[in-house]
Amino acid sequence: MPNELKIGLFAIGLEAYWEQFAGLKQRLLGYLYFVEGEMTKVYPHIVNAGMVDNTDKAFEAGSFFRQNEVDIIFLYVTTYALSSTVLPVVQQAKVPVIILNLSADAAIDYKAFNKMKDRTKMTGEWLAYCSACPVPEIANVFKRTGIAFHQVTGLLQEGDLCWKEIREWIEAARVKKIMSYNRLGCIGNYYSGMLDVYTDMTAQYALFGGHIEIIEADELSALRDDITEKEIIGKTVDFYQHFDIQSDCSKEEIEKAAQTSVALDRLVGKYKLGSLAYYYKGEGTKNLTTFSSIILGNCLLTANGIPVAGEYEIKNVQAMKIMDSFGAGGSFTEYYAIDFKDDVVLMGHDGPGHISIAEGKIKVCPLQVYHGKVGSGLSVEMSVKNGPVTLLSLIEAPDGKLAFLTAEATSVPGPILEIGNTNSRYQFSIGVRNFVEAWNSHGPAHHCAIGVGHIYDKIEKLGKLLDIQVIKIC
């Protein structure tokens, strides 16, 4: 698959050492294979260029990585090495680089070491622990040649904290790759007057890559006209499997939603969409029927890795896609109200919710009016799973630069507004007063993406790979 991540890995050492210190190269290669094995547990596509110990091998490794189209390089420092054997690799490959400064053990056994009588063997033993030595030299050269780099420092031992960091870098690189190939569909138009959500689509291309497909509302309605009765029945069965459909939902509305859901599936397949933003306010009979029956189908898409945002919220569907790609979900949300008594913010939204991160089964209920929108029909009511959550917003500065705004919180049980919308209660470590003021101070759009788990560390690394600012509120 073109969007599969490919990870480059190589070790560095000094060729002059191998004849001087018997067994050192083989020992260090063993460390390299250990690193490869641990990384493979996280992600299988590792492109290992082996030990680079002179400039010829450096150019060969760079070419090798380029030919294999790696997306990120992990540079494992085994012992002292010349920066001239590192720079060509990274310059040729032209992808982000993570320096792995991993020691063979927590400490040298000084007593046993100093009992060794052969100083040549002693030096060889010391050099096997010498990974930290060339890192300043490499950092210096990268800085002076304009190469961005990141570091992980720790132990080769399985279970060391460094492996959590490495895993997060791999996951961040994988999400960056997903975004670079993502095809975002945009159906309809912006909600008129909602100035905060307007964005420069070309800026989205510049940051993430991918493709944005502008789709007419009529196209979805036309697809809907071709749906068969058999397909409607099949989708209705899907609805009853995934939703808790309330008894006051009419058969007619369920079938309308099923017909639209099948049409959405076809639209997604036609354009190979990985996410979708939509809004339609026209009152023409055919399109009004389509877009007033869209919520359940959009919930199923969102649960299946194709997040859907209402109100044509392009920035927020990008945030939702990122959260979902990290495996955290990514549901569309905004402030509903502040409960000062319980120190929680009530947050939710009308339209689709993320089934996979719901607390229990999502309820489906009829609404006589979609507030602020045309039409009526079925809607969903859900809360996000109780436990740790992360908020993510893609914000746009006055100069047009994009940045990530994040906060970690806890989804807590308690009363919600049973109004046929997504709705959850969130507590913040800094309290709701401080949270809302700090969050608002950065000028985000009023929507954000919510996902399960505390994943700021992963988002921070993604921001570094994308070279954008990441702001954490709490």
For residue range 61-80, what is the model confidence (pLDDT) as tens digits?
A: 999 999 999 999 999 999 99
| pLDDT tens column, 248-258 | 989 999 999 99
Closest CA relative to residue 73, chosen from 59, 91, 85: 91
Q: Write the CB contacts of 272 (distance below 8 Å, at least 6 apart in sequence).
A: 183
Closest CA relative to residue 151, chosen from 113, 98, 102, 201: 98
| pLDDT tens column, 288-342 | 889 888 999 999 999 999 999 998 999 999 999 999 999 999 888 988 899 999 9
Q: Which residue ranges form the domains of the chain, and what is each CATH number?
A: 7-179 (3.40.50.10940), 182-472 (3.20.14)
What is the spatial distance between Cα 307 and Cα 321, in angstroms, rounded to a whole number?
Answer: 6
Helix, strand, coil share (%) of the chain residues, nearest 5: 40, 25, 30
Mean pLDDT by 10 residues, the chain (474 residues): 87 95 94 95 93 97 96 96 96 96 88 86 85 95 96 91 96 97 95 90 96 95 94 94 91 93 97 95 82 91 94 95 95 91 90 86 81 73 92 93 97 85 91 96 94 97 97 97
Chain position carrying tokens 């007057």? 193
pLDDT at site 163: 95
Show the tokens assigned to 308: 């859907």
The helix (run of H) or strand (run of E) holding residue 213 is: strand 211-215
Scanning 54-160, the segments in alpha helix (DSSP H) are 55-67, 87-93, 110-114, 119-127, 135-144
Does residue 326 contact residue 171 with C-beta atoms inside 8 Å? yes
pLDDT at site 106: 86
Instruction: Say how many Å lie between the first and final Cα of the chain, rounded.
Output: 37
Does residue 147 contact residue 91 with C-beta atoms inside 8 Å? yes
DSSP helix/strand/coil, 176: helix
